[in-house]
Structure 1
Amino acid sequence: MSYRAPLAEYDLLMRHVVGLDLVAGTERFGEANAETVATILSEAARMCEQVLAPLNAPGDREGARLENGVVRLPEGFAEGYRAVAEGGWAAITASEAYGGLALPITVATAVNEMMASACLSLQIAPLMSQGQIEALEHHASDEIKALYLPKLVSGQWNGTMNLTEAQAGSDVGALRTKAEPGGDGTYAITGQKIYISWGDNDATENTCHLVLARLPDGAEGTKGISLFVVPKFLPDADGNPGVRNDLSVVSLEHKLGLHGSPTAVMEYAGAKGWLVGEPHKGMRAMFTMMNNARLGVGGQGIGVAERAFQHALAYASDRRQGVTPLGATAIIDHADVRRMLLTMQADVFAARAIALSCAVAIDMETATGQAAWAARAAFLTPIAKAFGSDTGVRVADMGVQVHGGMGYIEETGAAQFTRDVRVTAIYEGTNGIQAMDLVSRKMMDEGEMAYVILDEIEAEAQAVRADLPDLAEPLLEACAALRAGTDWIVQHPAEDRFAGAVPYLAAFARVLGGQAHLKAARVEGGARLALARFYMARMLPEYAAKLAEARAGAAGLYAADVRAMAR
């Protein structure tokens, strides 16, 4: 089936739920009012619906391939990438000084989600470039900025992120890639990196790699890592691609999904690179790109969830089987199919609201420099990433179930969403790492930001308690329980926090989702109110079980011997 961008939902969320007006009220983003943003999103939607969406299934079937050292994209992907680049969507938040649109990341989050819905394998390319652009803007020298940013912003060149090595997954500090000073301001980069999304392609003139490596005097662990920009082709005197650098694609990964996206094993054999930021401070610079990508990956999960929901809804509306309470009609009128579809719809709305709320906080931090906005953005980022990607996995899986046996057959398309989205819960820091980050670094304030957010939710629920008690009362009850759970988290040592981190994050996301549904129901009523009631009655109560698990502590995990029972 075809894809339709959820423009009405973006409009509702931005006007009445996440606070786009706050962003538009700043001097930095004064032109990003709701009307202007709606026009921008409409243009992006047209491209996604008409150009990118038709590439999704054929790209999955054909896949990217490596032929005689050259990476070939599936048919139509080069044209799709050009449509993205020519529309400015690869550099939507980049500075105008380098040709970017300088729009809020709130707008970029919606555009990126639409592109992910349309064709996730292709969307990865502009998402990676956006992150590299931000990292270079913040940390690179003026010379590097002047040379690389105009090309990345225009989409002539694409950017990648090189962290992972075979022996160093999430433990980036264990990397072995070396950087030897060349004596002329350049460095010779030697080592191998794996899982490099869009590590090479035949759609762009050049591919620019941001590579983590260790200088000879770099300390062990993450504190001794530096960051380098290493292009596929060395720019000549005019800034155009010149001779080939000493790097190559060893192979393309054979993946569960995302077949159209070339995920490369990269070999650097003394490749020439340039230092980005200060020596031994590479993780600081790379985290700029990683945090950008974490919100973006959450959006990828939401985008695939939206497409899977639309696909399942269309199938359930047409498929006739059995007798429902309404007679012999389509399976959408069977109670359990209706339950699944409403669950999918309600979860997508909640996840989308959390991601956009996180984006608003980032924009407000950028526009105002206020510490409170920075703390809110930092707190919401792991939730947006983990809950967004987990929602993608859940909703895509449920979409297969709605299709029944046909969902297991590749021709219906439901299985591709499940295969494609699964990795989003793994990369840019697994969701377990996101949860651990939430209960540790993001709670170094003793939970202050968590309590601020809970205060806001409680105030909003209290304001409608008389008019919408069936929404307000369960949300107030959930807030009280989450407050007690947060007390427990901040009062216990790291091992207990980490043991309950994933369920705690899930509980917090469930309550944030309740807040979003409450706000939307107040504005629209009707079907939106019915969906909010469904969420409060059937999905919000998950918080109780999650908090019980979160407070169980670590002792039981280590008392049980998983190996003993496996013998």
Structure 2
Amino acid sequence: MPSYKTPLKDIQFVFNELLDYPSHYERLKGCAEASSDLVDAVLNEAAKFSEEVLSPLNRVGDQEGCTWTPEGVIAPTGFKEAYKQYVDNGWPLLSVPEALGGQGLPSSLSMAVTEAVSTANVSWSGYPGLSQGAIKTLIEHGTDWQRDVLLPKLVSGEWTGTMCLTESHCGSDLGQLRTRALPQEDGSYAITGTKIFISSGDHDMADNIVHIVLARLPDAPAGTAGISLFAVPKFNVSDAGGIADRNGVKCGSIEHKMGIHGFATCVMNFEDAKGYLIGEPNKGLACMFTFMNHARLATGMQGLVHSEIAYQGAIPYAHDRLAMRSLSGPKNPDGPADPIIVHPDVRRLLLTIKAITEGCRALSYYTAQQLDLSEYGESEETRKQAESLLALITPICKGFMTELGLEAASHGVQVFGGHGYISEWGMEQNMRDSRISTLYEGTTGIQSLDLLGRKVLGSGGKLLQPLLAEISHYCEGLSTNADMQEFVAPLQDAVQTWQEVSMQAGAAAMENPEEVGAASVDYLMISGYTLFAYLWARMAQVAQQQISAGEGDETFYQGKVHTARFYFQRLLPRVATHKATLASGADNLMAMPEACFALN
């Protein structure tokens, strides 16, 4: 089982050299304290906590899992103590506004901490992770009482939060949900219904849990237009913020899952539970998107998490494992065989994992910059531009990065051969843990429909054009740079493809609405590979400049250039396949009669 080591060197490369976070933070309103020294101190402390406290609990969580009891769910051994240390050290306060008792640092810095915490122990990280979405939801949409009474304990981490959407009969089709909310004389609501797949729905790590719940009022219209949002605490809360009697919400059971065993996934039963309306009646889904978009970005980062785990496991093994001789002659003549890292197919696996990992990191922090700008941008125009770009790339981050993270996890198993299938090495756990990332917070198909249907076609291309213009402008600026043409030329081709398939999908949808669904996943993948190409070109450019200047670690920068070359020559060509598949249309999917889908 690999012990996690925070990749501080690559994180700092992305922060300081690729995306110039020091200048970025200087331009943000009210974030002047986020100096380079402070950022380094935060990252170093996060690395220490992740490596020394959370990483040793990773296998414990997988083997022991959570325990259901009639009184509540018990987290794996050591999880509660680690959470107390996390709270005592002030980590939940990092990016919470100072007016609410937080440290007021940018969200991007909190995301960097999340990377370290999640990679060290993805199951444990889910417990505090959901709270951030609950906090943002109450900040933006909550009443004064909710912000005064519920928020302080959520902000401090003394309480945690959940997101209660799904029901057994409707899955992601929330228009079918049946949980009801009856108005009470004191202004509260009695919530009754059952929610499933509720992440961290119950546990013993915090004193209270605030559930953010979708439900229907008695006079609500059908469908998504009749959904309201409520805050429902596990224990009732006094006006002074103290814990009172047990509310009518309990965990009926926990799911037995493929992976993330240490993370409680619960069936939650609400029986006349006291809840408080968030936002306006029947406008709950709009409010809930504040939570959902935060969760989707966090889930997208799990693609980075699982690829990093695969890389940290595969690299040492590939250096140490001796098997067969190199096709070009012995590379370890004094040993019985050569290390497997000399074999081309193992190199293919390792370079794919590396390209995915570092590409995911670059895209994660590129997105995090937009999140900062949407919250702390100098002008309203800057904030709106960032919000628009976030709207476009959030489904790409969630859908594309998790699909590639799953691929990287699979390659991590493959590097180990038969040993990868054995639990002691940790690669099979990573494979199991990674599978859920493409499913929860909206499957890849749902993210793809959101991207193509709502964000691109729904905006008439207005959300997409600024990003395409940014990439094109970057390419134009390198038109005379001979060293960069191996990256710039294929990037320009990918941008042109992205534009072409956007127009093709729009034209086809006008003839047949099914074409949007048929094209959407291929469209998402084209979008993701092109965005990766943009960021890998930028990484290669920075690395080339450092090598030419004779500055820094030349081996590190050479690795960047070689990996960029591998990405452009081996992975970016996948765009052509997705383009051809997309162009084939919906008929090959929809023409076959349903009766043909039968078990013989």
TM-score by length of 1: 0.97
| Greater mean deviation of Cα atoms: 2-11 or 175-184 | 2-11
Which residue, 498, 514, 520 being the options, matches 2:517?
Answer: 498
- Percent identity, aligned pairs only, is 40
- In structure 2, relative to structure 1, the CA distance for the partners of 1:188 and 1:15 (3 Å cut) is same
Which residue, 407, 414, 423 being the options, matches 1:410?
Answer: 423
Q: Which residue of 1 aligns with 2:491?
A: 475
Distance in 1 (CA, whole Å) between partners of 2:534 and 2:239 is 55
Distance in 2 (CA, whole Å) between partners of 1:67 and 1:442 is 44
Deviation at 1:120, TM superposition (A): 0.7
Distance in 2 (CA, whole Å) between partners of 1:313 and 1:550 is 36
| Greater mean deviation of Cα atoms: 296-305 or 464-473 | 464-473
Deviation at 1:24, TM superposition (A): 3.2
Q: Which residue of 1 aligns with 2:565?
A: 533
| Greater mean deviation of Cα atoms: 11-20 or 110-119 | 11-20
Q: Which consecutive unaligned segments of at least 5 residues does structure 1 have?
A: none
Distance in 2 (CA, whole Å) between partners of 1:505 and 1:565 is 27
Matched, 1:74 2:76: yes
Distance in 2 (CA, whole Å) between partners of 1:445 and 1:534 is 35
- Large movers: runs of 4+ above 4 Å: none
Distance in 2 (CA, whole Å) between partners of 1:105 and 1:488 is 37
Q: Which residue of 2 aligns with 1:381?
A: 394
Q: How does 1:350-499 map to 2 (within 5 A)?
A: 350-368=359-377, 369-370=380-381, 371-443=384-456, 444-464=458-478, 465-493=481-509, 494-499=513-518
Report how many aligned residue pairs link the two structures.
567
Distance in 2 (CA, whole Å) between partners of 1:81 and 1:520 is 36
Which letter does structure 1 place at the counterpart of 2:167?
Answer: E
Q: How does 1:107-186 map to 2 (within 5 A)?
A: 107-186=109-188
Contact 1:121–1:260 under 8 Å retained in 2: yes
Q: Which residue of 1 aligns with 2:548?
A: none
Distance in 2 (CA, whole Å) between partners of 1:547 and 1:304 is 27
Deviation at 1:549, TM superposition (A): 1.7
- In structure 2, relative to structure 1, the CA distance for the partners of 1:202 and 1:510 (3 Å cut) is same
Distance in 2 (CA, whole Å) between partners of 1:330 and 1:258 is 32
Deviation at 1:338, TM superposition (A): 1.1
Q: Which residue of 2 aligns with 1:522?
A: 541
Distance in 2 (CA, whole Å) between partners of 1:429 and 1:263 is 16
Matched, 1:259 2:261: yes
Secondary structure in structure 1 of the residue aligned to 2:121? helix
Q: Which residue of 2 aligns with 1:3?
A: 4
Deviation at 1:458, TM superposition (A): 2.7
The one-character-per-residue Cα deviations of 1:20-60 (angstroms, maximum 9, x if unpaired) are 33343122333334443232222111111111111101110
Matched, 1:322 2:341: no
- In structure 2, relative to structure 1, the CA distance for the partners of 1:94 and 1:563 (3 Å cut) is farther
Contact 1:194–1:265 under 8 Å retained in 2: yes
Deviation at 1:565, TM superposition (A): 5.8
Distance in 1 (CA, whole Å) between partners of 2:375 and 2:455 is 19
Distance in 1 (CA, whole Å) between partners of 2:43 and 2:261 is 27
| Greater mean deviation of Cα atoms: 53-62 or 79-88 | 79-88
Q: Which residue of 1 aligns with 2:285?
A: 283
Distance in 2 (CA, whole Å) between partners of 1:238 and 1:27 is 33
Secondary structure in structure 2 of the residue aligned to 1:467? helix
Distance in 1 (CA, whole Å) between partners of 2:164 and 2:441 is 11
The one-character-per-residue Cα deviations of 1:38-89 (angstroms, maximum 9, x if unpaired) are 3222211111111111110111000001123321111100112122222333
Contact 1:351–1:387 under 8 Å retained in 2: no
The one-character-per-residue Cα deviations of 1:347-375 (angstroms, maximum 9, x if unpaired) are 11112222222221122122233322211
Matched, 1:106 2:120: no
Which letter does structure 1 place at the counterpart of 2:522?
Answer: P
Which residue, 571, 575, 596 being the options, matches 1:543?
Answer: 575
The one-character-per-residue Cα deviations of 1:195-235 (angstroms, maximum 9, x if unpaired) are 11111111110111111110101111111111111111111
Q: Which residue of 1 aligns with 2:550?
A: none
Which letter does structure 1 place at the counterpart of 2:576?
Answer: A
Contact 1:350–1:512 under 8 Å retained in 2: no
Distance in 2 (CA, whole Å) between partners of 1:320 and 1:251 is 47
Secondary structure in structure 2 of the residue aligned to 1:257? coil
TM-score by length of 2: 0.91
Which letter does structure 1 place at the counterpart of 2:475?
Answer: A
